[in-house]
């Protein structure tokens, strides 16, 4: 009789189904970035589950811990039916639905039956969906690190988001089960945007938490869910970009080569540059398609070569990509097409497009396309819902950009870059293939903007920031701005009003209503369902009203569809919308120019021109700038407010002189030949470079992959934060980041074009070299960080500030510094991955922020 072979069992993890719940606490939609995710408790200390805490939502003004249970699949519903929500909503509106809760459960790790004591401890792969933050701490508080590391969840439940790799806070036992505590920050955010309108029921958070165990190894694997590929039309790639997802399972790896697994005449791929991966990091390896002949095979197989940074090991990964081969389009065979291009030089990006029903008319210029912006949570990659809902056009392309992800940045910042990038990419794709010329575009073509919900807001945003690129706008079910949802709550009780004004000024670039002066000459058809349960119809009514306040004769029409909800199939597919488009897309359409108009700008780098006038620089960054142009007595008069420099396209205006703030300015014949006339104030200033900032969120707009630099290689928390931010950049925006493992000083930045994030201690020996140019008020003196004459050495400080890029004039450098580990965690949560985080050009937060939110900010500007 043979003895059966005993196979060693691997590590196993068990997530408890029983949860403790503390809440609800009223909070603002982004207050969670300032307060401790475990507010009001401190998870580094033993918890008393019999205690109660103040909450203005509860009868009696206090709440305690309650119990709930998750399903076997990890689904958790969190609600507070004893709160009189209907009474709160009756006086406060849906803002009263916004609330925060602390959730607690346990995780148990079971060791393998046979374990090598020399192997590294396992780590957890955690997928938290629609929860804000999660942390894992030891069961014994004597082992608790202070403070714990908080990891952002996938709060938007975005598709294709990979689990987060979390190292255990203390080593597990090799001989018996080890229990850890898990705490989750649960936030019912702006109610409707995430969880829907509960109407008469108690608002309910629907959170899902799943956990797997992984044993780190010096290896890497493919992550096919992260792949980027375009469709093929008649055998030709509809784009030049391919992206392959690769993840390190342990150690530092560099992808050094990529080749086709088989030879194909007239088709190959090439790497743009080596791609370095940090431990557990996922990156999308960018490959360029080079094609001179049709490629009709159903799949691609590409071999990647990876080399370990130790130089002792290499491996090969074979990626197989299924291709979608489409026939060459004709009047009888038209379908949506997925195209690809390189966003910010090296990031493979997809968009979708639907071709015009007919070819271009030979005697006319190509008709402008319609740029169609999807709503929050709409995935154009796996779903055809959005492009199917758009009205087909006879001679115009429909372009639906991804916005980076299904939520993106609300069509601001990198999402706006992606929208314009998709238009430019479609021109390049069609222009490169002679067979597609009958449907090609004009270089730099203007567009008609169309969008629904968040995309409707995005249509208002893009049109009012780039009016010369837009022929007309159809915003449907659009909200005005994020602040119209929920105001500050906790922080409002503690923050200095002057500091609050500075923080909220960082949201000025998002306030669409402030920039509607730029649309007085742009045709607008605003559409809204009269019974919209998501975005109240008054948002569109108010936007139209503000626009007409700037010019009562503005070409703006409001269509309110009585008793229609937020979404209905005819919201954009109807005769009224089509007639509006027909009027814009005919060859006889011409732009209107009022005798008086005002250009409003908050961030010059994120704004375009209006009738050829462009504000290039502000006198006081952070304040609005306006430039009013009007004809008076046959003379052109320009009145400026907070404008330090502006330009004018000479070929759009036939002028020899005009008045600027009552001063006559002559236009010389020589300047007319330059094409662009530049004017600036003669006040004394210490710099004349372009302004690229007004808030730290502008850091997300980069011209190449980010470079994340932990200053101290021996500090695991610095590297951990870099890995967390890299994960969030990919998850929320599909933005690529390279982490520098061995930073040796400012010389390492000489070849860097993309934006740079510096992470580390406020006393780092590298800071004097980085800050020696004195381009910000932050300087190093006697190994201490100074803000002008103030030494920043108080414990718990988190310090963020923008700094000019050392190599790229239009780039940005962001310093994320701290005086200790707790300050680094606070600063890390303020890295503005999402919209609505109030971080201006610089900000210093203290340990008081854990309980008072923005009330713990001790300086900002």
Per-residue pLDDT of 343-365, as tens digits, reads 999 999 999 999 999 999 888 89
Report d(CA 396, CA 369) in Å as an integer.
Answer: 5
Are residues 531 and 497 in contact, defined by beta-carbon separation less than 8 angstroms? Answer: no
Please, which pLDDT band fits residue 488 given cuts at 50, 70 and 90?
low
Closest to 713 (Cα-Cα) out of 659, 644, 750, 759: 759
Peptide bond into 40 cis (omega under 30): yes
692 pLDDT band, cuts 50/70/90, is low
* Confidence label for 540 from pLDDT (cuts 50, 70 and 90): very high
Give exposure, 700-720, as e/b (b: 16+ Cβ within 10 Å).
bbbebbbbbbbbbeebebbbb
Lowest mean pLDDT among 201-210, 293-302, 375-384, 658-667: 658-667
Alpha carbons 760 and 763: distance in angstroms, whole number: 8
**According to the model, what pLDDT value does residue 669 have?**
63
Band of residue 214 on the pLDDT scale cut at 50, 70, 90: very high
Tell me the torsion sign for CA atoms 732, 446, 809, 698.
negative
pLDDT of residue 685: 39
According to CATH, the topology of domain 12-214 is Jelly Rolls (2.60.120)
Q: Do you know the residue count of the chain?
A: 861
pLDDT at 248 over 80: yes
268 pLDDT more than 80? yes
Least confident of 281-290, 334-343, 471-480, 738-747: 738-747
Residue 668 backbone phi and psi in degrees, to 5: -80, 150
Distance CA 179, CA 140 (A): 9
Q: Distance of CA 213 to CAs 14, 224, 717, 763, Å?
A: 10, 20, 21, 37
Mean pLDDT of 517-539: 95
Is it true that domain 217-328 has CATH number 1.20.1630.10?
no
Q: What mean pLDDT, rounded, does the chain reach?
A: 91
Mean pLDDT of 86-113: 90
Higher pLDDT pick, 232 / 144: 232
Residue 106 contacts residue 16 (beta carbons within 8 Å): yes
Q: Distance between CA 551 and CA 547 in Å, rounded? A: 7
At residue 157, the pLDDT reads 93
Burial of 234 (0-12, 13-18, 19+ CB in 10 A): middle
**What pLDDT does 672 receive?**
58
Q: Are 99 and 29 in contact (CB under 8 A)?
A: no
Residue 568 has pLDDT above 80, yes or no: yes
pLDDT of residue 665: 84
Rounded distance between C-alpha atoms, residue 589 and residue 576, angstroms? 18
What's the rounded Cα separation, in Å, for the pair 481 and 507? Answer: 9
Domain ranges of the chain: 12-214, 217-328, 604-680, 696-860
The answer to whether the CB of 793 falls within 8 A of the CB of 784 is yes
Q: Helix or strand or coil: residue 818?
A: strand
Same fold? 12-214, 696-860: no
448 sits in which H/E element:
strand 447-452
Nearest to 726 by CA among 709, 746, 750: 709
**Residue 534 pLDDT level (bands cut at 50, 70, 90):** confident
Place of tokens 């007639």: 579
Which of 342-356, 371-385, 680-694, 732-746 shows the highest mean pLDDT? Answer: 342-356
pLDDT at 209: 98
Nearest Cα residue to 400 out of 226, 409, 411, 367:
411
- Output the six-digit token pair for 361: 């008319």
Query: In this prediction, what percent of the chain has a pLDDT beyond 90?
Result: 73
pLDDT of residue 418: 98
Reply yes or no on whether the pLDDT at 666 is more than 90: no
| CB contact set of 738 (below 8 Å; sequence gap of 6+) | 275, 276, 283, 705, 706, 707, 708
| pLDDT confidence bin for 4, thresholds 50/70/90 | very low
21 near 68, Cβ under 8 Å?
yes
Q: What is the pLDDT of residue 485?
A: 60
Longest dimension (CA), the chain: 111
Specify the range with the lowest mean pLDDT, choosing from 142-156, 206-220, 570-584: 142-156
Q: Between the CA of residue 238 and those of 104, 371, 381, 839, what are the distances in Å?
A: 49, 18, 15, 39
pLDDT score recorded for residue 8:
60
Output Rg (C-alpha) for the chain, integer angstroms: 28
CATH code for the structural domain at 696-860:
3.30.379.10
Backbone angles phi, psi at 365, to 5 degrees: -65, 155
Q: pLDDT band at 310, cuts 50/70/90?
A: confident
Please, which pLDDT band fits residue 693 given cuts at 50, 70 and 90?
low
53-86 confidence digits (pLDDT tens): 999 999 999 999 999 999 999 999 999 999 999 9
């Amino acid at each position: 009789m043979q003895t059966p072979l005993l196979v060693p069992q691997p590590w196993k993890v068990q997530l408890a189904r029983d949860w403790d719940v503390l809440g609800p606490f009223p909070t603002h939609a982004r207050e969670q970035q300032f307060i401790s995710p475990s507010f009001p408790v401190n998870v580094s200390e033993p918890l008393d589950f019999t205690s109660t805490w103040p909450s203005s939502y509860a009868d009696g003004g206090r709440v305690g811990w309650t119990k709930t249970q998750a399903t076997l699949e990890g689904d958790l519903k969190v609600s507070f039916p004893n709160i009189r929500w209907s009474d709160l909503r009756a006086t406060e509106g849906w803002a009263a639905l916004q609330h925060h809760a602390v959730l607690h459960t346990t995780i148990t790790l079971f060791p393998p039956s046979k374990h090598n004591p020399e192997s590294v401890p396992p780590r957890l792969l955690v997928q938290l969906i629609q929860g804000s933050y999660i942390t894992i701490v030891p069961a014994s508080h004597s082992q608790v690190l202070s403070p714990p590391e908080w990891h952002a969840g996938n709060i938007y439940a975005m598709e294709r988001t990979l689990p987060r790799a979390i190292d255990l806070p203390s080593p597990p036992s090799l001989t018996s089960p080890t229990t850890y505590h898990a705490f989750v920050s649960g936030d019912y955010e702006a109610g409707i945007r995430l969880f829907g309108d509960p109407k008469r029921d108690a608002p309910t958070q629907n959170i899902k938490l799943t956990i797997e165990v992984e044993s780190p190894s010096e290896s890497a694997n493919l992550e096919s869910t992260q792949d980027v590929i375009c469709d093929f039309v008649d055998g030709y790639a509809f784009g030049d970009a391919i992206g392959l997802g690769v993840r390190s399972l342990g150690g530092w790896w560099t992808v050094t080569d990529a080749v086709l697994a088989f030879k194909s005449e007239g088709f190959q791929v090439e790497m743009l540059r080596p791609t370095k991966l940090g431990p557990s990091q996922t990156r999308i390896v960018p490959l360029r398609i080079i094609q001179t002949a049709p490629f009709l095979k159903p799949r691609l197989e590409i071999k990647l070569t990876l080399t370990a940074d130790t130089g002792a090991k290499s491996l090969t990964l074979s990626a197989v990509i299924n291709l979608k081969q489409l026939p060459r389009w004709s009047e009888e065979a038209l379908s949506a097409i997925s195209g690809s291009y390189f966003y910010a030089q090296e990031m493979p990006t997809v968009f979708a497009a639907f071709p015009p029903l007919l070819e271009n008319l030979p005697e006319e210029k190509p008709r402008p396309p319609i740029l169609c912006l999807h709503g929050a949570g709409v995935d154009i990659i796996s779903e055809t819902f959005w492009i199917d809902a758009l009205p087909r056009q006879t001679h115009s392309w429909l372009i639906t950009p991804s916005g980076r992800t299904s939520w993106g940045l609300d069509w601001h910042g990198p999402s706006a870059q992606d929208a314009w990038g998709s238009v430019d990419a479609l021109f390049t794709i069609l222009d490169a293939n002679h067979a597609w010329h009958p449907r090609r575009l004009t270089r730099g073509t203007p567009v008609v903007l169309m969008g629904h919900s968040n995309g409707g807001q995005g249509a208002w945003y893009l049109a009012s920031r780039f009016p010369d690129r837009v022929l007309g706008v159809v915003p449907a079910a659009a909200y005005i701005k994020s602040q119209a949802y929920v105001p500050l709550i906790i922080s409002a009780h503690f923050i200095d009003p002057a500091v609050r004004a500075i923080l909220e000024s960082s949201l000025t670039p998002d306030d669409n209503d402030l920039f509607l002066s730029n649309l007085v000459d742009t045709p607008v058809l605003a559409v809204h369902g009269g019974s919209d349960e998501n975005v109240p119809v008054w948002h569109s009514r108010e936007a139209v009203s503000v626009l007409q306040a700037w010019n009562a004769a503005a070409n703006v029409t409001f269509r309110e569809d009585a008793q229609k909800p937020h979404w209905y199939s005819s919201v954009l597919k109807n005769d009224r919308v089509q007639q509006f488009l027909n009027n814009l897309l005919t060859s006889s359409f011409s732009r209107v120019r009022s005798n008086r108009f005002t250009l409003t700008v908050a961030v010059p780098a994120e704004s375009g021109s209006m009738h050829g006038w462009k504000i290039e620089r502000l006198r006081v960054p952070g304040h609005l700038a306006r430039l009013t142009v009007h004809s008076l007595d046959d003379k052109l008069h320009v009145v400026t407010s907070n404008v330090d420099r502006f330009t004018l396209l000479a070929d759009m205006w036939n002028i020899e002189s005009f008045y600027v703030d009552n001063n006559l300015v002559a236009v010389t014949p020589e300047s007319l030949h330059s094409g662009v006339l530049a004017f600036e104030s003669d006040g004394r200033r210490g710099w004349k470079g372009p302004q690229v900032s007004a808030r730290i969120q502008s850091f997300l707009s980069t011209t190449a992959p980010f470079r994340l630099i932990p200053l101290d290689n021996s500090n695991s928390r610095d590297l951990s934060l870099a890995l967390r931010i890299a994960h969030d950049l990919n998850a929320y925006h599909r933005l690529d980041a390279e982490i520098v493992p061995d930073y040796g000083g400012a010389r390492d930045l000489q070849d860097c074009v993309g934006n740079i994030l510096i992470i580390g201690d406020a006393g780092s020996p590298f800071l004097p070299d980085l800050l020696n140019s004195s381009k910000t008020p932050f300087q190093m003196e006697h190994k201490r960080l100074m803000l002008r004459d103030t030494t920043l050495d108080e414990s718990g400080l988190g310090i963020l500030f923008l700094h000019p890029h050392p190599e790229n004039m239009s780039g940005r450098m962001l310093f994320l510094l701290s005086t200790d580990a707790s300050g680094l965690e606070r600063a890390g949560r303020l890295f503005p991955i999402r919209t609505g985080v109030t971080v201006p050009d610089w900000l210093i937060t203290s340990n008081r922020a854990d309980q008072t939110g923005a009330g713990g900010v001790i300086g900002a500007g």
